[in-house]
Amino acid sequence: MIRTELTDDGVHVITLERPKVNALCVDLLDQLAQAAGRIASENPRAVVVTGGPKVFAAGADITEFAADPDPDSFELAAPGRVSEIGRAFLYGLGAVAGLPCPTVAAVNGFALGGGCELALACDFRVASEGARFGQPEILLGIIPGGGGTQRLARLVGTARAKDLVFSGRMVEADEASTMGLVDRVVTGDATEAALEWAGTFVAGPRAATALAKRAIDEGFDASISDGLALEQRLFVESFSTPDAEIGVGSFLRSGPGHARFDH
């Protein structure tokens, strides 16, 4: 259900492959967490997450919410099972969010519910013109459980997040871009554009980029004083990496823009 590959340009690609609409079941989310963990251990430079050319992920596998999915004898899953599903989302999407490098979601088609939340777990989102985003959980009488009330609000603001979550409505790529949910809208396959964008990070300093990502992500929810203190600690730490020796040395020898971080 999860396929991973490393392009010739040095970009790791995570592809969801669960016909027909990449519904996010517990097994797929567990595989996603494992794949992200393996990639993280390989000191990655950039990652693209995609669902392929037709659909990103249309949401959670709703059949897992039922102890008995038969309409005539329907019964909701027990609280323990619901907790298991919630943990799978927390760990799977958290593993993607925690990757120590730039991550780009390539969204073709639908990114709804858990699919939208997976896109939110990435640093950037590229969408095709036909992409659709939404958090429709409210239409099932439940709320998002994979970051839709948290990452979405931090990205687009509380009012816009409440609009999407309270209404359950879908938004097209252009509206998603206007509200800040999408970073780039492209004609054609979003994966190609995402790979191109991710490729721009490959030549950068891996250790310094990972520290910068950590400073931004961890500092965002802290007070300004705590965030600045974190930045200072990581700033000092950055000088202990090979990146600093390469970058500063190159600057003193040749000026800015000539460093090659190929270690």
Q: What is the 3-state secondary structure (H, E, C) of 230-259?
A: HHHHHHHHHCCCHHHHHHHHHHHHHCCCCC
Strand intervals (E) in 113-189:
124-128, 132-134, 170-172, 184-186
Is residue 75 part of the annotated active site? The answer reads: no
Q: How would you classify the pairing of strands 75-76 and 66-68?
A: antiparallel
Residues 136 and 108: beta-carbon distance below 8 Å = no
Is residue 146 part of the annotated active site? The answer reads: no
In 10 A of CB 41, how many CB atoms? 8
Cα separations (Å) of 125 from 25, 52, 82, 139, 213? 22, 14, 29, 25, 16
Query: Considering 52, 92, 109, 114, which one is annotated as catalytic?
Result: 114
Is residue 114 part of the annotated active site? The answer reads: yes
Q: Please compute Rg for the chain using Cα positions.
A: 20
Q: How far apart (Å, rounded) are the C-alpha atoms in residues 49 and 29?
A: 13
Q: How far apart (Å, rounded) are the C-alpha atoms in residues 189 and 131?
A: 10
Q: How far apart (Å, rounded) are the C-alpha atoms in residues 215 and 13?
A: 24
Is residue 117 part of the annotated active site? The answer reads: yes
Query: Considering 40, 121, 137, 210, which one is annotated as catalytic?
Result: 137
Query: Considering 23, 36, 40, 60, which one is annotated as catalytic?
Result: 60
Of 48, 179, 171, 51, nearest to 105 by C-alpha is 48
Three-state DSSP class for 90? helix
Catalytic sites, residue numbers:
60, 114, 117, 137
